[in-house]
Structures are given as structure tokens and as C-alpha cells.
């Protein structure tokens, strides 16, 4: 059993909204420590508290009272002392006097040691904000160290904090308004190596403001390819003129991992695991990220080593999607389906328009993939102002074709309004077997592939006769696994399904069945959706489908999960297995998942030569296998180290 999630790049973090009392540092320090202990008990390695959380943000002119400032320093010393027992980095906000000026700072501390103070850079002085009345900006600093509690401690907006045990975990800090400006400090921090940003905030609530804050945090995590921990002061702040709801968020690379309930009077803790391995992979691939360091706006940073031990846990506190290609939310899934369908149909329309071709040739089997391709062709005809009769549908029954699939192919073509022709390939294949000296009773690879190749030859010849485009039907999952016949169903003039994984094909067909323009096909599409996936290439005495693809190569939901994490994130097999166990544990035993993952890896590596000559087709998502764009791999690469990693 693996030691835990930390071995795969995960780091647990927390954002806290404490229930404070304005201008009562001693009370607030107690609450900070109380909630910090709870977060540490949950395994959090970084715990972020709001801006000025030691005093409260709304102390106003009380910030000019020496007594409050002295009590704030005393409260920080208490937090420092009691943090010796807490194995985590704590980031708290307080006012700090230095060089005859008052700074709004974040104190970064852990295991009884204060590592540095980061002052706020952008001080708001507009509308309901008048911080300029009390605070100086980080750029007003003269010195780089401050004497505090008998030690010289680094101070400045040029500090980054690196966890000794996890060197990939480099923390940058900005405070509230810093995020709202055109070039936030965090943008410079990530370019200098920060992988995690903590934002201590005090952002009051107005109608619609929470949505805007959320978009800021998510977008900054995307631009910085980083983890972003945001927390804002809560409902116990003064309500003299404004109200604070206490919004806390944890985002990663454009995705929101966790968010607090707002307007809680008892305080909030949210916890999630950041995947630093994912961030590193994406930064390496996104070459424009690294090139940004050439911009004229530069800053030299001091990197401080933080000595805390990161707790290793076998559990993950973040959502791992079992079907990463298909959103769980129905509305999001419908929106995604509409967008993909548009990409497919506009791609085919451009190819037809450029070629001066107005006809489409499709082999329709009565299965999901060919159904989707036919629906896309129908949509394309609408875009080009063509009759759907310009679509020539061919169903090509062979030795194992069932009555159900053949009838569904006919019904779908009729419902769509396409022309239809049936050509039985049985006799021709038998003559072919006789020509090459193959026993037709032996249902081996020769027997099966001959059918696939002959079907493709018919489609190509029919396209020559009609002057049309052969529309490909093979999906991304089949391409990844090499589950297609070379010079057979692998070939087409334009493959509209090339970027669509199998688990998403189903949702696209389901979505299309609910569209008004395909209402006449709804009934047959529902039956196609319920039909087992099969190549129908092996004879059986039974009338029903017996050659089921998922029995032969494994469940597509597993293969699509493997494909996503292998290609999108470059995850090692052990990590993929680790994640798959956690999302499929109630459906598949560990040994079953491992078995199909091994088969995925073996097939993926063995079948690159097929992908190297795959036809054109539109990319629809972040995972694609076109040899011209997204995936260049030697056809003879060894799979050994990936299989060994799995063992």
C-alpha cells in the first residue's frame, strides 16, 4: 500500500475565517490557535487567516492607539510560542510598527518561529476603504529586516517561503487589494517560483461582489498556474458601515477546489489538497509561462526555508472526478455537449466548404460513435444550407451484425432524413477468404479485420462515386487504445469524433436526442444508447450481441480516467491507480483496476504507429492525440518503466 497522498504531489492547505472581537488581540489569538489546532488535526500544512485577523480589520482609528498595537504584538508572540506544538505554517494578519510607519502585514510562522513579515503593497483609499489614513505600503520600507522578539526577521514584499521537506511547495503572500490591481504581486511571485499563493483579505460584501471575488481568485490561480488560498474576515467584524461575510476559497489552476459558507458567526475552516505535481507539469508544458520572466517588470525575491514536517495521509480532501471528460452537473454537461457538437460540425463544415464538396458518406452501424457522426453531419448540412439527403448512410452488415443494430441504423438514417443503402459484406468477405486461403470458420484477427477493411473500402469507393467526404466515426478512447483496424475504420477523410472520448460520446448522443432538430430520432437514439458497445465481428449462435468491447479491453470509464490523468497531467501509473482506487472503490476491486490500467498502458504504447497516420479531425478538449498537434511519440517507445512503476 502506498504511503499516502503526499507522495504524489499533494499538499493539504486550509483557509480559516475565525470568529473575532474587534480590538481584542488576546481573544483573537486564542481563536486563531484554537482553529489552527483543528486544521492541523486534519493534516493541513499551510493555514491562512484573514487580513488583520489579530486585531480585526475594522478597528479604524484605534490603529493609532499604541496600546492596541502593543497588544497585537503580544498576541503574535503568544501565537508564535504556542505554534511550537503545531506542525504547520500559520499566516496571520496584524498591524506592525517599523521605521516610524505602520504596516499592514502577514506574519508567516511555524513551529515556534516567525519566518518573515510581508506588508501589503496596494493600500486602498477609495469609497468605503481608507487604509491610507493608517498604513504605509510595502514600497515605503527602507530596511529588509526588523527586530522582533529578540530576533532579526526578514520583512518585505520580496519574500517567498519554501517548505524544507517539500521543495516544490513555495509560498507567496499578498494581501486583499493586492489581488485587485492590474499586476498583482502574486504574478511576480509565481514567475519567481511560487507554486502557492496565500491571500489574507478583508473584503466586505455587496450584491454580486462574492461572484466577482471568486472569479478573481480562480483566474489568478489559472494565470499563475498555482494553488491559491484566499480567506476574508467574517461576520464578527464591525458593521458600522459595511458587513463582511467571510468568504474563503481554495483554487488550483483555474478550478475552485473548496469554498466556505458565508455569513457564519461561528467561524469557518475549509481544507483541500493542492496537487503540486499537476502544477509543475502544466508550467513545464506551458512555455509561455516561463517566457513571461523576460518582461520588463522584474523583482528579486528572497527565498526563506521553512522547517515544518508535512503530514502524510492516504486520504485526499478534494474532489476527484470519476468521469473527468463529462461534468457531473447536468447544466454544465449540456453546455459542454452543445459546445463540442458545434466544434465538430463547424470543423466538418469548413473541410467540406474548402474542398468544394457537398456530400457526406458515413458508415452507420447502429452504435454510438456512428450515430454521433451522423448527427454532426446533419447539423453541418444545416450550417451549409444543404439538404440532409446529401448525407449517404451505408449500413454494411456482416457475419455478426444483429437485427437490433441493423434496424437502428436504418431507423436513424430515416429519422435524420439522410439517404440510405444496405450492402451486405458477407459473400464478398467469404470470397476474399478463399482468395487468400483463410478458413472462414477461424474467427481470428484476419477474419475480423477483413470485415473492417472491406467496409472502409466500400465507403471510400462510394465517396468517389458521389464526390463526397467519408466522415470518420472512431472516438478518442479507441484511438488511444488502438481499438481500430489499420486501413480499416481507422481511415476517413475527416474524423469528427477524433477528440471525443467514449464516455463523452454517450452524453453527446443523449444531449442531441433532446434537441428539437433531432426530435424525430429521439426514440431510436434512446435504444442506441442502451445497446452494448460491440464491434460485431465475431459470429455467434445467439441472436443478441455477444462480442462486447468492454469485456475484451475493459470498461471505458476506467480507460478514459486513465487517459485523462496520463495525458493531461503526465501522472505516473502509481498515482493513477491511487486516484482510481478512491473514485471507483465501490465499483471495481483494486486488482481489477490495476489489471485494466496495465492493459491501457500496454495498448497505448503498442499502438502509437496507428496514431501517427490518423486522419484530420477537430480537437475538442485538453486531451487530444493528433500527431500534428498534441501528441508526438516514437512508435517504438518502451513501456517497461511505466509497467514497473505500477508493480
- Binding site annotation covers 370? yes
Question: What would the mean pLDDT of 17-38 be, rounded to a whole number?
Answer: 97
Query: Per the residue annotation, which of 31, 71, 120, 575 is the catalytic one?
Result: 120
182: three-class secondary structure by DSSP: coil
- Residue 615 has phi, psi (to 5 degrees) of -70, 170
295 given a catalytic annotation: no
In angstroms, rounded to a whole number, what is the distance separating the alpha carbons of residues 52 and 47?
Answer: 15
- Binding site annotation covers 367? yes
Let me know if 425 is exposed, middle or buried by CB neighbors in 10 A (0-12, 13-18, 19+): buried
Are 642 and 601 spatial neighbours (Cβ–Cβ below 8 Å)? yes
pLDDT-based confidence at residue 291 (cuts at 50, 70, 90): confident
- Other CB atoms within a 10 A radius of the CB of residue 112 amount to 13
- Binding site annotation covers 180? no
**How far is residue 493 CA from its own chain's centroid?**
32
Q: If DSSP states are collapsed to H, E and C, what string results for 290-351?
A: HHHHHCCCCCCCEEEEECCCCCCCCCCCCCCCCCCCCCCCHHHHHHHHHHHHHHHHHHHHHH
C-alpha cell at 317: 480532501
Evaluate if residue 6 carries a pLDDT over 60.
Answer: no
Q: Half-sphere exposure of 1 toward its Cβ, with a 13 Å CA cutoff?
A: 7
Instruction: Spell out the CATH class of 330-549.
Output: alpha beta
At 541 the pLDDT is 63
C-alpha cell at 138: 510595502
Residue written as grid cell 435504444: 527
* DSSP string computed for 60-116: GGGGG-HHHHHHHHHHHHHHHHHGGG--SEEEEEEEEEETTEEEEEEEEEETTEEEE
Are 499 and 475 spatial neighbours (Cβ–Cβ below 8 Å)? no
Let me know if 632 is exposed, middle or buried by CB neighbors in 10 A (0-12, 13-18, 19+): exposed
At 2 the pLDDT is 41
198: three-class secondary structure by DSSP: strand
Are 260 and 43 spatial neighbours (Cβ–Cβ below 8 Å)? no
- Binding site annotation covers 631? no
- Residue 484 has phi, psi (to 5 degrees) of -155, 160
- Binding site annotation covers 478? yes
Query: What's the pLDDT tens digit per position in 216-233?
Result: 999 999 999 999 999 999
* Helix and strand element counts for the chain (H, E): 20, 20
Q: Half-sphere exposure of 419 toward its Cβ, with a 13 Å CA cutoff?
A: 11
Let me know if 599 is exposed, middle or buried by CB neighbors in 10 A (0-12, 13-18, 19+): middle
- Binding site annotation covers 365? yes
Find out if CATH 3.60.110.10 is the number for domain 12-306.
yes
| Average pLDDT, rounded, for the chain | 94
Q: Half-sphere exposure of 329 toward its Cβ, with a 13 Å CA cutoff?
A: 4
pLDDT-based confidence at residue 421 (cuts at 50, 70, 90): very high
- Binding site annotation covers 363? yes
The enclosing H or E element of 434 equals helix 426-436
421 given a catalytic annotation: no
CA-closest candidate to residue 512, choices 377, 346, 323, 393: 377
Query: What's the pLDDT tens digit per position in 336-393?
Result: 999 999 999 999 999 999 999 999 999 999 999 999 999 999 999 999 999 999 999 9
Residue written as grid cell 448525407: 391
At 129 the pLDDT is 87
C-alpha cell at 35: 482553529
Query: What's the pLDDT tens digit per position in 95-154?
Result: 999 999 999 999 999 999 999 999 999 999 888 888 999 999 999 999 999 999 999 999
Residue written as grid cell 517567498: 160
- Binding site annotation covers 578? no
Query: What's the pLDDT tens digit per position in 137-157?
Result: 999 999 999 999 999 999 999
Are 594 and 588 spatial neighbours (Cβ–Cβ below 8 Å)? no
Query: What's the pLDDT tens digit per position in 551-591?
Result: 899 999 999 999 999 999 999 999 999 999 999 999 999 99
176 given a catalytic annotation: yes
CA-closest candidate to residue 529, choices 298, 367, 327, 397: 367
At 3 the pLDDT is 46
The CATH 3.60.110.10 portion of the chain extends over 12-306
Question: What would the mean pLDDT of 295-310 be, rounded to a whole number?
Answer: 83
At 328 the pLDDT is 85
Query: What's the pLDDT tens digit per position in 452-491?
Result: 999 999 999 999 999 999 999 999 999 999 999 999 999 9
The CATH 3.40.50.620 portion of the chain extends over 330-549
CA-closest candidate to residue 51, choices 192, 264, 204, 205: 204
- Binding site annotation covers 83? no
Distances (CA, A) of 152 to 72, 94, 117: 19, 18, 11
- Binding site annotation covers 569? no
Are 325 and 560 spatial neighbours (Cβ–Cβ below 8 Å)? yes
- Other CB atoms within a 10 A radius of the CB of residue 541 amount to 5
CA-closest candidate to residue 357, choices 495, 453, 471: 471
In angstroms, rounded to a whole number, what is the distance separating the alpha carbons of residues 51 and 55?
Answer: 9
Query: What's the pLDDT tens digit per position in 47-101?
Result: 999 999 999 999 999 999 999 999 999 999 999 999 999 999 999 999 999 999 9
- Binding site annotation covers 331? no
- Other CB atoms within a 10 A radius of the CB of residue 641 amount to 10
Residues 6+ apart with CB under 8 A from 516: none
- Binding site annotation covers 486? yes
402: three-class secondary structure by DSSP: coil
Are 404 and 534 spatial neighbours (Cβ–Cβ below 8 Å)? no
Query: Per the residue annotation, which of 31, 131, 174, 176 is the catalytic one?
Result: 176
Residue written as grid cell 436526442: 513
Let me know if 278 is exposed, middle or buried by CB neighbors in 10 A (0-12, 13-18, 19+): buried
C-alpha cell at 56: 480585526
Evaluate if residue 1 carries a pLDDT over 70.
Answer: no
Amino acid at each position: 500500500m502506498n504511503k499516502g497522498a503526499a507522495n504524489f504531489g499533494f499538499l493539504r492547505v486550509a483557509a480559516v475565517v475565525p470568529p473575532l472581537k474587534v480590538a481584542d488581540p488576546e481573544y483573537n489569538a486564542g481563536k486563531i490557535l484554537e482553529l489552527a489546532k483543528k486544521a492541523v488535526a486534519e493534516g493541513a500544512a499551510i493555514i491562512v487567516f484573514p487580513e488583520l485577523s489579530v486585531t480585526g480589520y475594522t478597528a479604524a482609528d484605534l490603529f493609532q492607539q499604541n496600546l492596541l498595537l502593543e497588544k497585537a504584538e503580544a498576541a503574535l508572540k503568544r501565537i508564535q510560542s504556542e505554534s511550537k506544538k503545531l506542525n504547520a505554517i500559520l499566516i496571520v494578519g496584524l498591524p506592525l510598527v517599523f521605521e516610524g510607519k505602520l504596516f499592514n502585514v502577514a506574519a508567516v510562522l511555524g513551529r515556534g518561529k516567525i519566518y518573515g513579515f510581508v506588508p501589503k503593497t496596494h493600500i486602498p483609499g477609495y469609497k468605503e476603504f481608507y487604509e491610507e489614513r493608517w498604513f504605509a505600503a510595502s514600497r515605503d520600507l527602507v530596511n529588509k529586516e526588523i527586530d522582533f522578539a529578540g530576533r532579526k526577521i526578514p520583512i518585505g514584499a520580496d519574500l517567498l517561503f519554501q517548505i524544507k521537506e517539500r521543495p516544490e511547495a513555495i509560498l507567496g503572500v499578498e494581501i486583499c487589494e493586492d489581488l485587485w490591481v492590474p499586476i498583482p504581486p502574486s504574478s511576480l511571485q509565481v514567475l519567481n517560483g511560487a507554486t502557492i499563493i496565500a491571500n489574507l483579505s478583508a473584503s466586505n460584501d455587496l450584491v454580486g461582489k462574492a461572484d466577482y471575488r471568486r472569479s478573481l481568485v480562480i483566474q489568478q490561480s489559472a494565470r499563475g498556474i498555482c494553488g491559491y488560498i484566499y480567506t476574508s474576515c467574517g461576520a464578527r467584524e464591525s458593521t458600522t458601515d459595511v458587513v463582511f461575510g467571510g468568504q474563503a476559497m481554495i483554487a488550483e489552476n483555474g478550478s475552485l477546489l473548496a469554498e466556505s459558507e458565508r455569513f457564519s458567526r461561528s467561524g469557518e475552516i475549509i481544507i483541500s489538497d493542492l496537487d503540486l505535481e499537476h502544477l509543475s507539469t502544466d508550467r513545464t508544458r506551458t512555455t509561455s509561462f516561463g517566457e513571461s520572466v523576460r518582461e520588463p517588470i522584474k523583482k528579486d525575491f528572497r527565498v526563506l526555508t521553512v522547517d515544518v514536517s508535512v503530514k502524510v495521509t492516504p486520504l485526499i480532501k478534494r474532489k476527484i472526478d470519476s468521469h473527468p471528460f463529462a461534468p457531473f452537473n447536468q447544466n454544465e454537461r449540456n453546455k459542454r455537449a452543445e459546445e463540442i457538437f458545434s466544434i465538430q460540425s463547424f470543423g466538418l463544415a469548413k473541410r467540406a466548404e474548402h474542398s468544394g464538396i457537398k456530400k457526406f458518406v458515413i458508415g452507420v452501424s447502429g452504435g454510438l460513435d456512428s450515430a454521433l457522426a451522423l448527427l454532426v453531419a446533419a447539423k453541418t448540412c444545416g450550417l451549409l444550407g444543404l439538404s440532409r439527403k446529401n448525407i449517404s448512410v451505408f449500413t454494411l452488415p456482416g457475419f455478426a451484425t444483429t437485427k437490433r443494430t441493423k434496424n437502428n441504423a436504418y431507423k436513424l438514417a430515416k429519422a435524420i432524413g439522410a439517404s440510405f443503402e444496405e450492402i451486405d459484406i458477407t459473400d464478398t468477405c467469404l470470397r476474399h477468404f478463399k482468395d487468400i486461403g483463410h478458413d472462414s470458420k477461424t474467427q481470428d484477427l484476419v477474419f475480423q479485420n477483413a470485415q473492417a477493411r472491406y467496409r472502409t473500402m466500400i465507403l471510400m469507393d462510394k465517396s468517389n462515386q458521389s464526390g463526397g467526404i467519408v466522415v470518420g466515426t472512431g472516438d478518442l478512447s479507441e484511438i488511444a487504445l488502438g481499438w481500430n483496424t489499420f486501413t480499416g475504420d481507422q481511415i476517413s477523410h475527416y474524423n469528427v469524433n477524433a477528440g471525443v472520448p467514449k464516455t463523452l460520446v454517450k452524453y453527446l448522443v443523449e444531449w442531441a436526442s433532446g434537441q428539437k432538430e433531432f426530435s424525430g430520432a429521439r426514440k431510436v437514439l434512446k435504444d442506441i444508447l442502451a445497446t452494448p458497445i460491440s464491434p460485431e465481428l465475431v459470429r455467434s449462435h445467439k441472436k443478441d450481441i455477444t462480442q462486447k468491447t468492454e469485456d475484451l479491453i475493459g470498461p471505458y470509464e476506467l480507460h478514459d480516467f486513465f487517459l485523462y490523468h496520463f495525458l493531461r497531467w503526465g501522472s505516473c501509473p502509481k498515482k493513477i491507480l491511487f486516484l482510481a482506487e478512491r473514485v471507483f472503490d465501490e465499483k471495481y476491486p483494486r486488482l481489477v483496476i490495476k489489471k485494466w490500467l496495465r492493459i491501457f498502458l500496454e495498448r497505448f504504447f503498442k499502438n502509437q504507429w496507428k496514431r501517427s497516420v490518423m486522419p484530420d479531425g477537430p480537437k475538442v478538449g485538453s486531451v487530444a492525440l493528433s500527431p500534428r498537434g498534441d501528441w508526438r511519440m516514437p512508435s517504438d517507445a518502451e513501456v517497461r518503466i511505466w509497467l514497473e512503476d505500477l508493480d
